[in-house]
Structure 1
Amino acid sequence: MRKLASLFFSVCVCTVALSQSIMADVKVDYSQVQSSNTQVYETLQRSLINFINSTKWTDDRLKPHERIEANFLILVSKRDNNRFTASIQVQSRRPVFNSTYYTPLLNLNDTNFTFEYTEYEELIFNERKFSGKNLTDVITYYVYLILGYDADSFSRDGGTEYFKTAQRISNFGQSSRFSGWSELDGLQSRTSLINNILKADNKTLRTLNYQYHRNGLDVMADNELRGKNAIGNALLQLEFYTRGSYAQFYPLEIFMTAKKDEIGKIFGGGQVSSVNVEKMKETFNSISPKNSSIWNNLKK
C-alpha cells in the first residue's frame, strides 16, 4: 500500500462529534472578483464549514476507519449584491481498512452554481422544500451524493437511500429559478446525474464500486495479491459500458476521474496478478480514451 501513498490529497480536518460521518473542508475562492469587501467570503466559508460539519446527516455511527473526508471548493466569478455566480468542486475520500491510505471516491466540478447569501445569515436546510437561495440546497445535494458513494463502497447498493434523498432535493431544485438542476441543463446537471445514478444502467458501476473497495482495497493490507485480483476482476465489468451509448454517461466519467491515478498505481507494478490486463486496457481505452497514457502502462 505504500505505493499508493502519493495519491493522498490533503484536507483540513475539522473537530466534530464522533457521531458525525463527514469531516469537510470548505474553501471559498474570490480571487476573480474585484471587491473591497472580502469579509463576506470569509464569513461564508466559516458558515459552510460549520453547517456541513455540525449537521447530523445520518443516524449511522461510523467507526474511525469509515469516516469520510471531503473538500468543497467554491470559485466565485461574479457578485451582484447578495447574488453570487460560481462553480463548485466536490471531492471525497474514505479510509482503506487496516491502512493509513485514503481512497478517492468522488471528484467532480459543477460549473453552473448561482446562489444568494447575506453575510451572517443562518444556514439552514429543510429537505421538504427548496430554500429559495440555492446555497444550502446545492451543498446538501452534494453531501448526500458523498454519503451515497461512500455507503456503496462498504455494502452492495448501500447508498440507495442517500441517493434518493439527493434526488428529492434535485426535484425541488428543478422547480426553482436557479439553473443547474434541470435535465435541460445538460447531462451533467444535478438532476441528470442523480437520475442516472439510480437507473438500472448504473447497476454495474455501483456493484463494481462495492467489489473494488470492499473486496479489493480493503483486503490489500492483509493480502495484496488477493486484493489486486479482486480489483482487476471488478474493473473488467466496465466492458458493459463499451456496448451501447455510454460515451457521455456522467457517472462513468466521475468514476474514471476519481480512480484513474489509483488504478495506474495498483497495476503499475508489485505482485503479478492473474487479471487479464490486456482486456482491461482495451476496455479503458474504449470508455476513457483521454487517459490512454495511464492505461497503456498497466501491468499484471
Structure 2
Amino acid sequence: MKRLLVLFVFITGGICHLSAQDLNARVQILSPQVQNTNKQALTSLQSLIRDFLNGRKWSADNLQSQERIDCSFVINVTEWDGSANFKAEAQIQSSRPVYGTTYNSTVLNISDKDFNFQWSQGQPLDYSDQAYLNNLTSLLAYYAYIIVGMDSDTFSRFSGSPYYVKAQTVVNNAQTAGFTGWKAFESLRNRFWLAENFNNRDYAPVRQVLYTYHRQGLDVMSDNLEKGRKAIFSSLPDLQIIDKQKQGSIINQVFFTAKADEIVNIAGQADPKTRMDLYNLLSSLNPPNIPKYELLKK
C-alpha cells in the first residue's frame, strides 16, 4: 500500500481494483563509436529490453497504468564485435510524481560504466531470480529492483527493503559471472556496494531522508510551501551521520546526483541565512557539486 495510499487515495478518496506492471521504461540504445553497426539488430535489442522491463512484475503492488514508475535506460554501446559481445555504458534514471503538481522529481540518476553483456540477434531475454542466466538480464533486473525499492521508500518509510534484498540476490547470483561490477573488490562504488548500502542498517538515515524529502517535503509543498521546504532542509543534516561514519559511500553520491539541482531550486526563495547554512552543509557532504551550490550564496 505505497503509491496507492499516497497518490490514489488522496485523489479519489477510495479504493480501486488495480492491475498493471510496474515500470514505464523508455529504452534507447546508442552506438556512435561503433562502425558498420547493424542497426536492425540494435533496434530489435532495444525493443526486447523495453518489453523485458515493462512486461514483468517487479514489485508486490498492483499499479494502474498511470501509477507505473517512469524510468529510462540509455545504453551507449562503445564496442561490438558484430556478433554477441557488447561493451557498453548505461545511464539509468527514474522519477516519481509530486502530489498536487505536474512535476516529476528525479529519484535515481546513475551511470554504469560496466554495462557489458552478450546477446545474439533472435535470442530471447531469459531471467530467473534463482540463478544467473546472462549478464544483460541480470543488469536489467538489478536496476529494476533498485528503481522499485527507491520509489517505494519515497512513498512509505523503509518499504523498499524487499526489493533491495532482491537486488542483492541478483548480485549474489552474478558472483561467478565473468563481467565487471558485481564484486566487492573491483570498486568501492559499483553495483555490489550500492545493493550492500541499501541493505545495510548503517545507511538507514539515507532511506529515511528519501521518505522525509518526498512525502513530508515535496508532496506537502503544493499546500504549504514553507512546511514542505522546512521538512526537506531539516532532513538533510541526517546525511552527515553517513558522511562521518562511511566516507565516500556510494549511496550518498547516488542521492546527491539525483537531488543537487532540485535542492538548489527549492532553496532559491529561502532567506539568505537558510541558503548559506545549506551551502555549508551541502558543500561539505557533496564536494563534487559545489559549483551548483555556489548559487545558494547569491
Q: If the length of structure 1 is used for normalisation, what is the TM-score?
A: 0.88
Which residue of 275, 286, 289 maps to 1:288?
286
* Pairing of 1:135-150 with structure 2 (within 5 A): 135-150=136-151
Q: Which residue of 2 aligns with 1:255?
A: 255
Alpha-carbon distance in 2 for matches of 1:65, 1:272: 37
Contact 1:27 1:74 in 2 (8 A): yes
* Pairing of 1:134-283 with structure 2 (within 5 A): 134-246=135-247, 248-269=248-269, 276-283=274-281
Q: Deviations over 1:89-124 (max 9, x none)?
A: 100001111210000000011111211111122112
Alpha-carbon distance in 1 for matches of 2:142, 2:105: 22
Alpha-carbon distance in 2 for matches of 1:93, 1:68: 7
Q: Deviations over 1:60-117 (max 9, x none)?
A: 1235674310010111111122111111110000111121000000001111121111
Alpha-carbon distance in 2 for matches of 1:48, 1:105: 21
Alpha-carbon distance in 2 for matches of 1:159, 1:199: 13
Which segments of 5 or more consecutive residues in structure 1 lack a partner in the other structure?
Answer: 1-16
Structure 1 outlier segments of 4+, above 6 Å: none
Alpha-carbon distance in 2 for matches of 1:75, 1:102: 25
Q: As a proportion of its length, which structure holds more helix?
A: 2
Q: Which residue of 2 aligns with 1:121?
A: 123
Alpha-carbon distance in 2 for matches of 1:116, 1:242: 38
SS in 2 for 1:243: helix
Which amino acid in the other structure matches residue 132 of structure 2? F
Q: Which residue of 2 aligns with 1:298?
A: 296
Alpha-carbon distance in 2 for matches of 1:66, 1:187: 34
Which amino acid in the other structure matches residue 30 of structure 1? S
Q: Describe the shift of the 1:108–1:156 C-alpha distance in structure 2 as closer, same or farther (beyond 3 A).
A: same
Alpha-carbon distance in 1 for matches of 2:37, 2:112: 27
How far apart are residue 296 of structure 1 and its match?
A: 3.2
* Pairing of 1:8-47 with structure 2 (within 5 A): 18-47=19-48
Moved more, 134-143 or 180-189: 180-189
Q: Percent same amino acid among aligned pairs?
A: 35
Contact 2:22 2:56 in 1 (8 A): no
Contact 2:59 2:163 in 1 (8 A): no
Q: Describe the shift of the 1:59–1:242 C-alpha distance in structure 2 as closer, same or farther (beyond 3 A).
A: closer
Q: Describe the shift of the 1:278–1:108 C-alpha distance in structure 2 as closer, same or farther (beyond 3 A).
A: same
Alpha-carbon distance in 2 for matches of 1:18, 1:272: 46
Contact 1:242 1:286 in 2 (8 A): no
How far apart are residue 287 of structure 1 and its match?
A: 1.7
Q: If the length of structure 2 is used for normalisation, what is the TM-score?
A: 0.88
Moved more, 95-104 or 66-75: 66-75
Alpha-carbon distance in 2 for matches of 1:145, 1:42: 26
Which amino acid in the other structure matches residue 147 of structure 2? I
What RMSD in Å do the two structures reach over aligned CA positions?
Answer: 2.0
How far apart are residue 175 of structure 1 and its match?
A: 1.7
Give the count of matched residue pairs: 280
SS in 2 for 1:120: coil
Contact 1:65 1:96 in 2 (8 A): no
How far apart are residue 218 of structure 1 and its match?
A: 0.6
- Pair 1:109 & 2:111 matched: yes
SS in 1 for 2:280: helix
Contact 1:268 1:299 in 2 (8 A): no
Alpha-carbon distance in 2 for matches of 1:64, 1:215: 25
SS in 1 for 2:296: coil
SS in 2 for 1:294: helix
Q: Describe the shift of the 1:258–1:71 C-alpha distance in structure 2 as closer, same or farther (beyond 3 A).
A: same
